[in-house]
Amino acid sequence: MHHPDLGKLILRLTLGILMLFHGVAKMTSGVAGIKGMLAGLGLPEFFAYGVFVGEVIAPLMLIIGYYSRVGAALIVGNMLVAIVLVHMNELFALSGSGGWALELQGFFLFTAVALIFTGPGKYVFKQ
């Protein structure tokens, strides 16, 4: 049996829930570290609050299926900024376990890209 909409739901929920856990962890520790990093790069500190859009609001959009492609695009943008500003030195590095050092960021990025192209499926919040 072929259920592409169920597969899309699983992708949406997996990405949304894991990204939301990531965002909640950032909410509990605050954005001071992100502000400091941005200030060190000469960027406005208020951009640090964008992490809440990409790691809290966007995952919730995916979980309920409300403008899922927009939510996925926000996650893609968030991950690209994170990779460029924070993880660029790990781009070609292997982790201690032999995996890609950016496997978590890669999962978030490429799953969100897949959702942009495939769409949310039929299990969505009715708009």
Q: What is the pLDDT of residue 123?
A: 86
* pLDDT surpassing 90 at residue 63: yes
Contacts of 53 (CB under 8 A, 6+ apart): 74, 78
Paired tokens of 127: 């708009």
Tell me the backbone φ, ψ of residue 100, rounded to 5 degrees: -60, 135
Q: Is residue 42 left, alpha or beta, with left meaning phi > 0 and alpha meaning psi from -120 to 50?
A: left
Name residue 36's amino acid.
G
Measured CA distances, 61 to 58, 64, 102, 113 (Å): 5, 6, 24, 15
Q: How far apart are CA 29 and CA 54, in angstroms?
A: 16
Closest CA to 93 of 80, 103, 107: 103
Give the pLDDT band of residue 125 (cuts 50, 70, 90): confident
Q: What is the pLDDT of residue 90?
A: 84
* pLDDT surpassing 70 at residue 2: no
Tell me the backbone φ, ψ of residue 13, rounded to 5 degrees: -70, -40
